[in-house]
Structure 1
Amino acid sequence: MRAALKTADGRFTVEEIDPPELPAADWVRARVRVAGICGTDLRHWKKHEPELACHVMGHELAGEVVEVGRDVTRVAPGDRVVIETVLGCGHCDWCRARQYNRCPDLYPTRTRSVSRAYAEFVVGPQHKFYRLPEHVGFDDAALIDTFSVCLHAHHLAGLTIGDTAAIIGAGPIGLGQLMLAKASGARAIVIDTVEHSLAVARELGADSVVRADRDDPVAAVLAFTGGRGAEVAFECAGGEAMPTTLPWATRMARRGGAAVIVGGFDAGEVTIPLEWQRIQMSEIRLLPSASFALHDIDPEQGQVLDLVARGVLKTQPLITHRFPLERINEAFEVAQDKERTGAIFVALEL
C-alpha cells in the first residue's frame, strides 16, 4: 500500500509498504479515503525526531471497510465509516473504567493500528468503527475526531444556556468549540490573528470576534461581558502560543469560572507564569482536556457523528484545502502557513 512515512527531519516520503493484517477475529480493515492534518501533526512538522522516522502518522480519518474478522458484527465490507483513533491498552484501570483517553499506554497503543491515517489501509477493533449516513461524506467525517475533542472539553466545562464562552483560536478546534457553544445557547466571542478564520467564525454564529494582533483580547472579552468575564474560556491554540494564550484564558474567565485547556502542549516541562493569587482568590478552575472517550454511557465520537449528521456541527466551511497523499509535504506547508493561505482544515485524499 502507499503510505507517507515520517523522515528524521520531520517531513514525509511516500513509499510502498506492506498493508496491515487483522490481528484478531473482532478487528476490521478499512481503506482510508480522507485524512486530516491537525495541530498535533503540525507540532511535529519539520522537527528533528529520529524516533519517528519511517512511522505512519495521522489520526483524523474516514474510509471504507474492506475486510472483517470472523467475529465482527458491527460493520461489513463496503460500509462507509469514520474510525475512532483514541485506543487504549484495554486492561489498565482507566481503560476498565472506560476512561481510555487517560490510558498511560494510549499513544504507543493507538499508533500501532488505528492512528495511522496517512496510508491506504488501517486496522482496528470493530467498536472503533462507526457507519456513516449516506449524506455524510468522507471529508465531513474526517472532522469528527476534531469535533469529538471539542465535545469532550464542552462536557468538562459544563457550558450551558445563557453562559458566555471566550474561545482562543479559530482553527478547527476553536470553530468546533464555537458551534457547540452556540448549540448550547451560550454567547461566544472568538479570538485569533487570521482574518479568514475569524470570518468563518462570524459565518458560524460568533457573537463577536477579536483580532488579537490588533486589539487586547482580554479587554475585549471583559467589555463583551460587561466587565465580569466569561463563564468559560477555552484555550484552543496550544503549542508555541500557550505561554501567551493560557494566561489570557485565566484572565478572561470570570470569578468562579473556568479556563479549559484544549490546545496541546509539547512534551517536557513548560514554564508559564500565571496570576496564581487571582486564580485562587477567584476560584477559577483550570480544566485540562485530553482527547475524548465516553460521556455517561455514550461514546463522544458517536455523539459527534449524530451532531454532524443532523447539521448541528458544520464541516464544509472549515475544509479550505484538499491534496492527494503524494503532495503531503505541500499540504503541511499550507496548513502551517495559515496567515498566508487561510488554511483551517486541510484534507488529504487517498
Structure 2
Amino acid sequence: MSDLKPLPHHLRRIARVFVDESMQDSPLARRVRDRLAATTHADIPWTVVPPDAERVAFSQGDAQALYLKEYKGRFLRFCPGTRAYHCCAYRIIHIGENCPMACSYCILQAYFQDRLLKIWANQDDLFSQLGEAFSADPAARFRVGTGEFTDSLALEHLTGYSRDLVAFLNDHDNVVLELKSKVVDLSWMDGAKRTDRVLPAWSLNAPFINEHEEFHVSTLAERLDAARTCAQAGFRVCLHFDPIIHYPGWREGYSQIIDMIFDYLTPNQIAYMSLGSFRCMPQLTPIIADNFPQATYIYNEFVPGLDGKARLLRPLRLEQFSFMVNRLRKHGMDKQLYFCMESSEVWQHVFGHTPKHLGGLANHLMSQAFGE
C-alpha cells in the first residue's frame, strides 16, 4: 500500500468511518481501512454500528463521514424518469448514496440532507443479484450505470468499487457499464479486459459554471484529458451537459467548452452525449439558496413541468439547445446527441426528429452503447 497516493482533494473532508457490524470484516471494509491507513488520514476513527441501530447520526462542521453499510434492497434499478418526457431508460447499479463534492445544482441535496457517504459493502450480494439478472435471458441487453445516486468514481481511491464491478462484468457480454463522474480516477482500467463494454463518462459545463457552482471537482481540462486517455486506450467515452444553465454570457461559455472537447476527442470516440436543461423539484430551490447563496440561476424564469419539476421557459430552453446542437454539429456530432427528459416537441424543434424516428430513445442509446 505504500505506493498509494495521498487522498485526493475531494476526499479530505472525511473525518470518521462508520461500519455495520456485519460488514466490518468484509473485503471492501478491509480495503478502505488499509487505504486510509496508507494516507496522512490514518487517525480517522472507526465506529462499529450495531445491527439494531435505526440510524447513524454525524455532525462535525463541514466534515464528512463514510458509512460502510449492509444494503438489503435491490441493487439493480430502473432510472427514476417520468413518462411525461423521453427518458434514456438506462438501468442503475446502486452502489451507494451521496457525494463528497459540492455542486450547487445537485439534486442529491434534496435526497440526502446529511454528510454521510454511504457505500454498500456487501458486494457478494450485489454480484449475486447482478449475475442472476444478467444471465436470466441471454438475449437481453443491459445499459447500466452507477452515477445516479452517487458519483461513479468519487470514492474509487478508497473503495476500488468500480474496478471490482468492471472485473465482474468482463464475463457478461450483454452488459455495457457507464462510469459517470466529475473527478478523475482511472484505476478501474486495470480491471477491464474489454474496452467495448465500459463507457467512461464525464459531466461537463461552461467554464463559468464549473468555477462558480462546482466545488471539490476536477477541472474541465482534467476531465477531458482523462477522456482522451481512455479513448487512446480503446474505450469510447460519454459526455453529459446536464444541467445546462442560463446565465449572462452562456453563449460564450458553452461555445468555449464545446470547442474545447474537440481539442481532446474526435466525434467517433464519443458513444453519446446528453443535453439537459436545469430543472428541479420545488423543495430543492430553497436548499440551493441556503447552501449556495451566490447561485443566481435559481431566480430565472421557470414554469412547472409535467413531472412537477420547475423548468426553464421553453423558448429559453430551445434557444440554448439549438445554439449548442448547431455548434456540436459543426464539429461532426449528430447521432450521438440526445436530450435528457424533454418532450417530442422540443426534439422536433431542435433536432428535426423525435425519438420515435430513432426507434425509441432507449433502443437508440442501446445501439450506441454497444457500438452498432
TM-score, scaled relative to structure 1? 0.29
Of structures 1 and 2, the one scoring higher in RCO (CA 8 A, sep 6+) is 1
Higher share of residues assigned strand: 1
